[in-house]
Amino acid sequence: MSTDTTAREQDRVAALHRLGVLGTPPEERFDRVVRLARQLFDVPTALVSLVDRDVVVHKAMAGFDQEVVPRGDSFCGTAVTQDAMLVVEDATADPRFAASRYVDQPDGLRFYAGQPLVAPGGYRVGTLCIADNRPRAFPAESAALLRDLAAWVEKELVIDSELERAAQVQAGLLPRTAPDVPGYGVAGACLPSRAVGGDFYDWAPTADGGLVLSLVDVMGKGAGAGIIAASVRAVLRGSAHGSDVGQSLARAGAVLHADLSGAGVFATAFHACLDPATGDVRYADAGHGLTALVRADGTCERLEATGLPLGVLDEPAREQRGVRLAPGDLLVTFSDGVLDLGDGTVATGLPRVVDAVRGAGSAQAAVDGVLRLAAGAAERPDDLTVVALRRD
């Protein structure tokens, strides 16, 4: 193998691995394609194959039961080396495959058609293929149909790659370190239910030495909600107006209203500012209502919403309220994904969160307590985000 050929093969294998689908469980979106292909072409076998360096991994199988086979034994290993579809009408008459262990046996493989799957960058990383133990012709209209089905598979493969990149970008928008506020601890976490979610949290220092905290929950899940969440974050940061969180939230709502209502979505938000010298927390709540002040003695106070969610009405002003953190007090705010771990109600979910954080010796311990609720859940149907602020 020449140096150029070796380099191209290395790049091809790297492109396959970037898709992030090797070693993953079976998925209905690919299984559906091979079931359809087997039915449309009236063949016993259809596969979505991913050609690695030395092996071929079958991401989806219909009529075949070997998930991994040596590349040298697979027709697909040859198919990815050429631009066009590989069609073998009678493998016993083809010197490339006549001696294959899948062909050289009674009732062995005779017919094969494999359309290369092309990943970003133009690399052929696998095939959608069909096979039969009888020789058969494969007319142009059948080849066109197989190419169409393969294009469907290619889109599904790229979606995974794009979502992974989007998830990396979204994770990069979250705070990377906790702020250093003497006498206080701050922590947060965000767990999207999918690769990309509609929740986010943020914090930033103010010019007068305070600290602004935000938690926003965009209606919905997935990439669409993630795009809206990024927009809300940018606008909310740009609308900061000192420690007047009511005015900041009103300004953000005015900018976002047309976009949110036009997209048919809304976002709830808890936006607060801490004065470290006094422990005073001024907050404005746009339809969120999932914030609790847990006192050092274990008692709890729920901080109610002070207005409607962003995108519902263009409210010219937002009410600002205040509480004071005494030493040992904890403020915790969370998204409704926490409620969905139970019966979905505040009446049940809020006490569960309070129990999870009560007695926490730090803000991080409080966040960990809420995350443990998710770890014990059978499924996580919605994004889950939590932020905790504790006065030492």
With respect to residue 258, please indicate whether it lies within any of the assigned structural domains: yes
Domain check: are 62 and 156 in the same one? yes
Residues 143 and 254 in one domain: no
Residues 150 and 188 reside in one and the same domain: no
Establish if 169 belongs to a structural domain.
no
Report the domain count for the chain. Answer: 2
Q: Does any domain span residue 111?
A: yes
Among 143, 163, 183, give the residue marking a domain's end: 163
Q: Using one digit for the tens of pLDDT, what is the confidence trace for 153-168? A: 998 887 765 555 555 6
Same domain, residue pair 153 and 130: yes
- What is the reported pLDDT for 163? 52
Where does a domain end: 163, 187, 204? 163
Residues 192 and 318 in one domain: yes
Residues 197 and 285 occupy one common structural domain? yes
Q: What percent of the chain has pLDDT over 90?
A: 60
Q: Give the DSSP letter string of 173-232.
A: HS-SS----TTEEEEEEEE-SSSS-SEEEEEEE-TTS-EEEEEEEESS-HHHHHHHHHHH
Q: What is the pLDDT of residues 208-219, one digit of tens each?
A: 888 999 998 887
Residues 91 and 234 in one domain: no
Which phi-psi region, left, alpha or beta, contains residue 216 (left: φ > 0; alpha: ψ -120 to 50)?
beta
* Domain-located, residue 170: no
Domain with residue 97: its CATH number is 3.30.450.40
pLDDT for 64-113, tens place per residue? 999 999 999 899 999 999 989 999 999 999 999 999 999 999 899 999 99
CA contacts within 13 A on the Cβ side of 99: 3
Same-domain pairing of 144 and 199: no
We report the CATH number of the domain holding residue 354 as 3.60.40.10
User: Does 255 share its domain with 148?
Assistant: no
Query: DSSP of 68-130, one letter per residue?
Result: EEEGGG-HHHHHTTSSSPEEES-GGG-TTTTT-TTTSSTT---EEEEEEEEETTTEEEEEEEE
- Supply the range of the domain harboring residue 201: 175-391
Q: What is the mean pLDDT of the chain?
A: 88
The pLDDT value given to residue 2: 64
Q: Rounded CA gap, 17 and 125, in Å?
A: 9
Q: Look up residue 294 and give its amino acid.
A: V
Residues of the chain with pLDDT > 70, as a percent, come to: 89
Residue 192 has what pLDDT? 73
Q: Is residue 357 part of a domain?
A: yes
The SS3 assignment for 350 reads helix
Q: Residue 217 pairs with which residues in a beta bridge?
A: 199, 268
Highest mean pLDDT among 12-21, 310-319, 351-360: 351-360
Q: Give residue 222's pLDDT.
A: 55
From residue 295, give the alpha-carbon distance in Å to each of 8, 38, 224, 246, 353.
Answer: 63, 64, 38, 24, 14
What is the DSSP-derived secondary structure letter of residue 125? Answer: E
Last residue of a domain, one of 133, 163, 193: 163
The answer to whether residue 168 is domain-embedded is no
Q: Burial level of 281, CB count in 10 A (0-12/13-18/19+)?
A: buried
pLDDT of residue 120: 86
Do strands 384-391 and 55-62 pair parallel, antiparallel, or not at all (unpaired)? unpaired
The verdict on 41 and 151 lying in the same domain is yes
Q: For residue range 12-65, what is the model confidence (pLDDT) as tens digits?
A: 999 999 888 888 888 888 999 999 999 999 999 999 999 999 999 999 999 999
**pLDDT at position 8 over 60:** yes
Q: What pLDDT, on a 0 to 100 scale, did the predictor assign at position 139? A: 95
Mean of pLDDT values over 103-125: 94
pLDDT digits (tens, 9 = 90+) for 224-273: 566 677 778 777 777 665 568 888 888 888 888 887 777 778 888 999 99
Q: Does any domain span residue 86?
A: yes
Same domain, 5 and 153: yes
Does position 196 have pLDDT exceeding 60, yes or no?
A: no
In the beta sheet, which residues pair with residue 165?
Answer: none
Say if 88 falls within a structural domain. Answer: yes
| pLDDT for residue 388 | 97
Mean pLDDT to the nearest integer, 132-143: 96
Asked if the model's pLDDT at residue 221 lies above 60, the reply is no
136 and 191 inside one domain: no
pLDDT greater than 70 at residue 330 = yes
Q: How far apart are CA 70 and CA 72, in angstroms?
A: 5
Report the 3 state secondary structure along 299-322.
Answer: CEEEECCCECCECCCCCCCCCCEE
